[in-house]
Structure formats: structure tokens, C-alpha cells
Structure 1
């Protein structure tokens, strides 16, 4: 079932105008591409907006290759800005009916901004029928689904696994095959008492950091924030258990509480050897480890994460970016063809991984011999798809809501209070639910 929203909501134009307020900067250099009948061949000046240079490389290479066989000859013209700015500007341009890109990346945390009042269906191509042929083989459709349609195609499975410093584990006599997160708390507490080191982290610098830290473990435990209809499911034993586990981990030093899980505090913890393990998605390799501690090449490894003793999944996910095509434009068909070639074919998915490290979103590709043979030099030559393939067999679903930003705000204070020992986990969840319902008027 796909998420559907009642129609007793503001008009589409009213909602778009509200969602587009407070634009933070502009995306310049984008020529107006006319709305109208889609072109079927010829030269295409395809406008693409994105927040990540990895997508620039990926689509540029794919377009050059596709141009040799397609009736279209692609010239991809890219504008890059922060993820929130991309979405704000896109909404603003959709209001006035011009200046929208043909192809745009929507960071997963931004998709909720077009989930009300049929907005996604008004401005974006619905991929539901195109994706039906892939069945369960295509992963992560849920985060970009609303009103029975799928409006963006995920770029990366964003598999969360456990990363650890093999040299530090060996030096400290730590097991690398700890079975449960509960067991890790015992191992981590003893380590922290001896050395001051930690085996994972939580980020609580912003409401988004706090929510993402909780969500990653909560999804693995079998819970979540919203169900497939967008209803809040936070009030659950799994949520209480997860917050309690995080609080105990921070209290005994297994988890380091960072004000910024991606910036300077993370870099310092890694460089000083204070953080020697963590639970993060596959993109953490490039953006967390290699970006901050390139000199630690060969020291890190990955494994399937410990499980929770109470049940759930062997893996989780965090982050993601879906690519969407703007409907009813001259370049709509050309943009669809490029996105299909890059995201919905084996060759395109292999290109994505080789160009920028984005994991396949086809479940079947995790047993592809070409991928299984890949060795990661940063991880000491480890064959990473042997680990990732196992994790991909049990990936939890993640459902969105147009009220996701409200929930992030509601969670921040109560969950941080529990993590710092000023409240209980049960109270944190109860307070978060109450605050959310007041703000969302549910």
C-alpha cells in the first residue's frame, strides 16, 4: 500500500507557496526549458540540479555513453547547491511554472516537502508503472512514494553496516564477531574504562542528527517513525528499547556523543583514535572515513552489524537521494531515458558504483560476480560485496510523512535528555509523541 493523504488540505498552489518560502540562495545558470510536448530525438540541453558532485560524474558519464545509441544527443548542464536549497528553488520555480530542471536529485529528507495535496503528482513524473516489472528486486521505493505513486528513483541502497579499526580491535583483544548490540555494550564499557575509546557514535547536534541517529537503530530493531500510510508508529516498545540502549551506550562510553557526526568533531575523534568503530551506511566509507582519515587506509574493515537480541533486522539504512523527472516538459522523455539507463539497468548500476560508489538498488546484483570480485583498498583489500550482499537480504522499509520535519523537531529535546541521563527512554518517547501530535494536530 502506498501513502495517501486526505484532500481536506490547502490548495496545491497554497502549499507550494508555503513550502517554497525562505529560499536560501538561488540556483543560477539554469536556462528556462519550455513546457510542452516532449521531444523524441535530437540534441538535448538537459538541465540537472543536484547537491552532490558524485551525481555530476555519474550522469555525465552515462549521458555520453547513452548518446552513442539513443535518438537523443545529451549535453547535461548541471547546477549544484545544498540539498535543501535544491528543493526550495525547485518548488519556487514550480510555482511560477518555469525554470525547473529536467532532472533533479531529491535528498530523502527533502521529499516530505512535496507529499501534501497531490503536489508530487502535479510536478513530477510518476514511475509506478515503469517500476512494476522489477518487482521486489528493486529496493527502496517507499521513501519516495505518496498518493499511490513513486516519484523518484533511489540512487543508493544506503546499507548500514558496522565499521571497525582492525588494528585497534586486535591491539585491545576485542572480538570482531560480537553477535548483539547488547553484547557490544559490555565489550565497549570495558574498553572505555581501559582506554577511553568508543565503538560507535550518536550525533545530537541538530534535530536532524538526533532523529537520524535514532532512526538507524530503530529501523534495525524492527520499529520506525511512520507506517506505510504515514501514521505515526513511534509510540512502541521497540522505540523505548532503542532509546534506552543508546542512553546506556553513552553512559558507559561505548557510544561517543558528538555534536556533529559528520564534521570537525567526527574528524577529531577518528584522527585521535578515540572512535574505533561505528554503525553507518555504505557512503560513510568515502564521506566519513576517507574524507577525514585518508592516512588510516588499510586499517578499517566492515561487517554486518550486530543484531538486537529482541529481534528485528540484520541491517539498516540511512540517507539516500532519489532522482526525479519534471513532467510535461520538452526534455521529459529524454530525462526519463537517461534516468532509466543510469538507474534501471545492470550496466547503469555498475557505472554508478564505479563512478561514485553508489550501491546497486537491484537486490539481484549483490550476487553479481563482477561486484563480488571487487576489493576495497581502503578496507585492506576486503571484498565488500560479500558483506553488503548479506546485509541487502534483510533491509528494513523506511516510510515517510509530510510531517517528518515536525517529528524531527519533536524528538530532539526529549531524546537528547534521555541520552544524557536526564530522563528515561519511556518518558522521551511519550514526550516526543505528545509534542508531535500537538504540532501536527493529529
Structure 2
């Protein structure tokens, strides 16, 4: 999701227990045969309802309208996708069109010459997409991927449990979050659900705190200098430790998964905790993981990660990411046109209506039906800055160390000062 989804990716978590599709061979660059047909090998992670049939229908419609073009779809569960893609890219043979979250992984693919520079091809229509959604796919001023879904991480909360604890409004400061935790504990409610075992949900806290304390500039400078051993990052750990010291998480959180029957999402969906810090897919996963398969419904609310007094960042700077597609180096000519077809107002609207996608095309925003999705979209539309998940934004080894180190902090095994040294050591070794 990531990572995160490693997570994170993201929406593939909905129904993650579904069977994995076995892969055939990737496109090999000889997709155009003597008869002039073109075969597009498309890998994506929407391997379950509601998006799997939607993608299939869009591909079929494109094939019907374009004689000689076929789309070979390979739907994969998130982690299976990443494993297969790693194998394919290491052999220099990426699929024609494939899932991407942008950031550090995409940069490695660019540096290896595995993906097409789409800048010139998409200029006529790319201006209709949200600028924040484009950031992770823009590298050194050039566009190497196109996002179809975008979202942000924020606090999802149970309105009923807040009310029972005497909390009348969503917190607007970090001190307010800590105060809410104290009130919830006093009311006998678990304040926060957390999937400590998976680590990527844990890093959201430290990343957001670093953003609010140091601003986006601190995260960008750390990437340039390969140095996280600065006062702002140490302070982020100190603030996170304030939360950890209140013991706000559910029993057994260090061994908890995200989407398992007793994991973070189910704990929220079943009313077993009052809050979780999670991305835009949270309501869907809460619902699918809950015992009732209904989730919290209108009891669920959302508020952005608050500002911190004296911090350089603001509450309007968003942290998150989404799903997009990159085009393999040997993809047939029709691939980019097919990608364009997925981003029409009509098709982005169809995706949005499923509730599993927050469209990146501005004109498709009106198709968002879910109240919580609308709230996230409104926050994103007003965002003054955007930061991709750290375990996607930085080189993979650095992102993994961020996850590992923050997990050690949460578990009480490392101090804020120690984890920034560990992350810096890995960053400098790259």
C-alpha cells in the first residue's frame, strides 16, 4: 500500500483473499505481427470486484472499436504482481501496460530504460488530470506514467465512539489527537487500530509528523542529501512516541495484519477501535473485512492529519498516492491510445461509481457517490502540496528501512534518534 500497499496497493486489498491469476509471457516487443495486428499485454492489480469486470469491459470495448488490436489482461493480487513485475523487469522484458505507483520504483525503471517517455504523447489531454496525482509519475520534468486513481491518508473515525467519549468535534491539532486518545481510553474504547506486523501502516504516522514539523521541503531535502539525521525527523519520532506512550492501540497490534479477519481494517469495521490512519481505500476494506460485510456506514467520518504548533508544514499538505499505469519500452503503438481511453470522462466516471477509485480526471469528480470519498476528494482538490508514501517515494531499500525503523520505534526497541541514523545509513549506501 503500501510496500504499502506494497499496500498499499491499495485497492487491490479489497477482496485480497481471491485467487491469483497465473501469468503467461510478457509482451516481447514484437506485438505487431505481419498482418498489422497489435496485442497489448496489460497487468493490473484490480483482480477482484468491483473493478476487475469494469477493466475487462473497457478493454473489450476498445477492441471492438479498434480492429486488429487485442488486449491480453493479466489481473494479479498486489504482492503477486510485484513479484512477477520484478522478474519481468530484471529480464528487461516489462509488460506493455502495467500498474505503477510512481516514485522511486518508477525512477529505477526509467533509469534502466524499461518504460516509455510519455510526455509528448499525453500533452493534448494530460492537463485535465489533478496536478497532485501527476507528481509521482513525473520524473525530471518528464511524464512516465498516468494515474487513474489518487487519494490521501487521513484519520478515519467512528462517530458513535467519539460521541460516547464526549468528543464533539474532530481534532484539528496533534495535541487534540492525543487528547482524543485519552478521552477514548477513559471511556473504555480502544482509540486506534494498527497493523503493526505489516509496518507500512505504521510509517504513515512518522511520515506525516515529519511533514507537519519540517514541511515537504524536509522530506525532499532528505532524499537529495541521503540524510534523515536532522532535528525535524528526530522531532517526528519524539511526537510519535508521545502517542505510543499513551498505549492507544488494540491488544496484539504488533502481530496484527491489515486486512485479515482480526486485523486493523476489521477492528475498525467491527467497531472495535475509534480511529485508524489509512488511505482512501479504508472504507472498502473495513466493509469487506468486517463480520457483517457492511462496515460502519454513516457512522464513519474522516479528518485530515492535523497541523503541529510551530511546524513548517500545514494541514493542507497531503500524504498519499494512488494507482497508475506505465508503458513498457517495447509496447505496440496502440498502447498509449488504449491508456488514453481509460482516462476519458466516461470511463473515469464508471470507475468512480464503483467506490473503489477516486478519479484523477477533474471532470469525473462529479461521479463520486460515496460521502467519505467525496470528503477525501475535496481535501485533495484543496491540497497545497503532495507527498508520495515514503516507501514508494524513496529507493526501495530506503523505503523498506523507513518501515522497519518506525516499526522498531513503535515496538519500543529503538529511540527516535536511533532510527534516523539507521535510515540514513541505508540511504547513503545506495
Structure 1 Cα separation of the partners of residues 30 and 133 of structure 2:
31
Match of 1:320, SS state, is strand
SS of the equivalent of 1:60 reads: helix
Equivalent in the alignment of 2:134? 141
Deviation at 1:153, TM superposition (A): 1.6
What is the rounded CA distance, in whole Å, between the counterparts of 1:183 and 1:30 in structure 2? 52
Does 2:382 align with 1:393? yes
Q: Where does residue 273 of structure 2 map in the other structure?
A: 275
Deviations 1:238-280 (A, max 9, x none): 4223222222112213455543233333255336633112221
Change (3 A) 1:251 1:400: closer
Decide whether the 8 Å contact of 1:247 with 1:420 is kept in 2.
no
Out of 64, 76, 79, the position equivalent to 1:81 is 76
CA distance in 1, matches of 2:24, 2:98: 12
Counterpart mapping for 1:361-380 below 5 A: 361-362=360-361, 364-365=362-363, 368=365, 370-371=366-367, 374-376=368-370
Distance 1:400 1:210, change over 3 A: closer
Unpaired runs of at least 5, structure 2: 1-19
Unaligned runs of 5+ in 1: 1-25, 377-381
For 1:262, the equivalent position in structure 2 comes to 259
1:327 matched to which residue of 2? Answer: 329
Structure 1 pair 384–411 and aligned structure 2 pair: CA distance change class (3 A): closer
Q: Which shows bigger deviation, 239-248 or 252-261?
A: 252-261
**What SS class does the counterpart of residue 150 from structure 2 fall into?**
coil
For normalisation by structure 1, the TM-score amounts to 0.74
CA RMSD of aligned residues (A): 3.7
Distance in 2, Cα, partners of 1:123 & 1:305: 36
The CA distance in 1 between the partners of 2:109 and 2:270, in whole Å, is 46
Match of 1:63 among 56, 59, 63: 59
What residue number does 2:284 align with? 286
CA–CA distance in 1 between the matches of 2:211 and 2:341? Answer: 31
- Inter-partner Cα distance in structure 1 for 2:421 and 2:222: 22
How far, CA to CA, are the matches of 2:33 and 2:239 in structure 1? 55
Alignment of 1:114-125 (within 5 A): 115=108, 118-119=111-112, 122-125=113-116
Q: 1:326 to 1:186 in 2, by over 3 A?
A: same
Deviations 1:50-89 (A, max 9, x none): 2222553342232344456x43465433223343543443
Instruction: Give how far 1:115 is off.
Output: 0.8
Question: Does the aligned pair in 1 maintain the 2:269–2:289 contact within 8 Å?
Answer: no
In the TM superposition, residue 339 of structure 1 has moved relative to its aligned partner by 1.0
* Stretch of structure 1 that moved more, 421-430 or 281-290: 421-430
- The answer on 1:247 being equivalent to 2:238 is no
**TM-score normalised by structure 2 residue count:** 0.76
Length, aligned pairs only: 395
